[in-house]
């Protein structure tokens, strides 16, 4: 069920994006893709229950705990989307995609009752209260993703907030280069020629 919307939106005869399948493995990967579509934005994706749960972050990720970034939930993506870097042709999501950062996350969300251990990722997701420690090439440390209850933003709105830790307010290295290939957006665009 989780990938229906993803597949419906795309014509796989035209786009190099993966068709993907749902994996059973309980992995903990994450990826952030820079996506120069109609508006440049960042797509944060966390592996949960065999798919990449996805949020579009228009302003990108801030390392400042005082800043809350709007993160709009989008359709689930297949796990192999985490390896996709390239150019999406005319159609849905047209534009260049860079693997801006990737790595593993650790679930750090504690259950409400003290000493009861961690809340599972699917539960954190369904409650709209995700807390993860990111171990990427660029992003490090703890982040919270909280579902917004404000009707102003609509039902898919979450807030992405850097939590206070030793990585807070650190600058992000190589912010304009791919974590996969080292390429810039321009170089990815050029390399995609057919
Ligand atoms: Mn996108």
User: Could you report the per-residue pLDDT of 40-79, keeping only the tens digit for each?
Assistant: 999 999 999 999 999 999 999 999 999 999 999 999 999 9
Q: How far is the CA of 186 from the centre of ligand 1 (A)?
A: 17
Predicted confidence band at 193 (pLDDT cuts at 50, 70, 90)?
A: low
Q: How far is the CA of 96 from the centre of ligand 1 (A)?
A: 10
Q: How far is the CA of 121 from the centre of ligand 1 (A)?
A: 23
Q: How far is the CA of 170 from the centre of ligand 1 (A)?
A: 25
Q: How far is the CA of 95 from the centre of ligand 1 (A)?
A: 9
Q: How far is the CA of 38 from the centre of ligand 1 (A)?
A: 9
Quote the CA–CA distance of 144 and 90 in Å, as a whole number: 34
User: Looking up tokens 């014509």, which residue turns up?
Assistant: 11
Ranges of beta strands (E only) in the chain are 29-36, 40-48, 51-57, 68-77, 86-88, 95-107, 129-136, 140-147, 157-162
Tokens of 30: 């994450």
Q: How far is the CA of 150 from the centre of ligand 1 (A)?
A: 23
Quote the CA–CA distance of 179 and 194 in Å, as a whole number: 24
Q: How far is the CA of 89 from the centre of ligand 1 (A)?
A: 13
Q: Please name the residue ranges forming H helices in the chain.
A: 4-8, 121-127, 185-191
> Strand pairing partners for 51?
48
pLDDT digits (tens, 9 = 90+) for 168-191: 999 999 999 999 999 999 999 998
- What pLDDT score was predicted for residue 194? 43
Q: How far is the CA of 118 from the centre of ligand 1 (A)?
A: 30
Q: How far is the CA of 160 from the centre of ligand 1 (A)?
A: 16
Q: How much is the mean pLDDT over the chain? A: 94
Q: How far is the CA of 115 from the centre of ligand 1 (A)?
A: 38
- What pLDDT score was predicted for residue 86? 97
pTM summary value: 0.93
- What pLDDT score was predicted for residue 71? 97
| Res 7 pLDDT > 90 | yes
Q: How far is the CA of 34 from the centre of ligand 1 (A)?
A: 8
The single-letter DSSP state of residue 110 is B
Q: How far is the CA of 29 from the centre of ligand 1 (A)?
A: 18
Q: How far is the CA of 30 from the centre of ligand 1 (A)?
A: 15
pLDDT digits (tens, 9 = 90+) for 127-165: 999 999 999 999 999 999 999 988 888 889 999 999 999
Predicted confidence band at 25 (pLDDT cuts at 50, 70, 90)?
A: low
């Amino acid at each position: 069920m989780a990938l229906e919307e993803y597949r419906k939106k795309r014509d796989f005869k035209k786009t190099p994006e993966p068709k993907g399948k749902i994996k059973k493995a309980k992995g903990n990967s994450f990826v952030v893709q820079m996506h120069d579509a109609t508006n440049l934005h960042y797509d944060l994706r966390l592996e949960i229950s065999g798919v990449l749960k996805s949020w579009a972050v228009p302003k990108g990720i801030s390392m400042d705990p005082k800043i809350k970034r709007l993160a709009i939930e989008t359709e689930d993506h297949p796990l192999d989307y985490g390896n996709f870097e390239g150019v999406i042709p005319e159609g849905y999501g047209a534009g260049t995609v860079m693997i801006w950062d990737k790595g593993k996350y650790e679930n750090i969300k504690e259950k409400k009752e003290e000493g009861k251990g961690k809340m599972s990722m699917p539960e954190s997701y369904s409650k709209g209260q995700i807390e993860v420690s990111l171990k990427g090439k660029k992003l490090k440390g703890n982040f919270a993703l909280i579902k917004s209850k404000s009707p102003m933003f609509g039902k898919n709105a979450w807030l992405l907030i850097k939590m206070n830790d030793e990585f807070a307010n650190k600058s992000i290295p190589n912010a304009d280069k791919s974590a996969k290939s080292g390429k810039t957006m321009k170089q990815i665009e050029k390399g995609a020629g057919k």
